Amino acid sequence: MAVTTTKINGTVLKVYIDTVLLGYVTESSFDTSANIIETSNKDTNKFSEFIAGRTTSTISVSAMHQFNATEGFKELFADIKTGTAVSVIISNENQDDFEWTANCLVSSLSISMPDDDVVTYDCEFQITGEPTYTVIS
């Protein structure tokens, strides 16, 4: 397959946990932030100075809850209870496009059970180590 050259519809990007499709996902995001360390002192005068510190990343997912999901709330709940690390992949599985891959711990998991609406859950993964953004081969 050829690399996607048009705008990407978010629907095609799927989330996989340990290579198993996470079921019924409605939204996902990948966030990275850097710790910025201030090094200002009396010699820097009026303008502050900074250096880069550690970088941290998270992956967030929202999904509809279904009891029959192969990978879903039940499995994520077990992972957060035991502190089990999981491999998370965000990909469209299109050769020559890019995908995100990371080793993660489930850092938060919440479920919403509204009246007369779909039961949903939100999950956040704390990436441990360096995530990758690589070409799909």
pLDDT at 131: 97
pLDDT at 36: 97
CATH, domain 10-35+51-135, list 3.30.565.10, 2.30.110.20, 3.20.20.70, 1.20.120.420: 2.30.110.20
Residue 10: partners with Cβ closer than 8 Å, 6 or more residues away = 27
Residue 1 predicted with pLDDT over 80: no
Confidence of residue 78 (pLDDT cuts 50, 70, 90): very high
What's the Rg (C-alpha) of the chain?
Answer: 19
| Least trusted range by pLDDT, from 8-12, 31-35, 105-109 | 8-12
Distant-in-sequence contacts of 101-104, Cβ < 8 A, 24+ apart = 101/131, 101/132, 101/134, 102/57, 102/59, 102/127, 102/129, 102/131, 102/132, 103/127, 103/128, 103/129, 104/59, 104/128
pLDDT at 69: 86
| Least trusted range by pLDDT, from 4-8, 13-17, 71-75 | 4-8
What tokens were used for 133?
């953004």
Residue 6 predicted with pLDDT over 80: yes
- What is the average per-residue pLDDT within 119-135? 97
pLDDT 10s digits, 35-64: 999 999 998 888 999 999 999 999 999 999
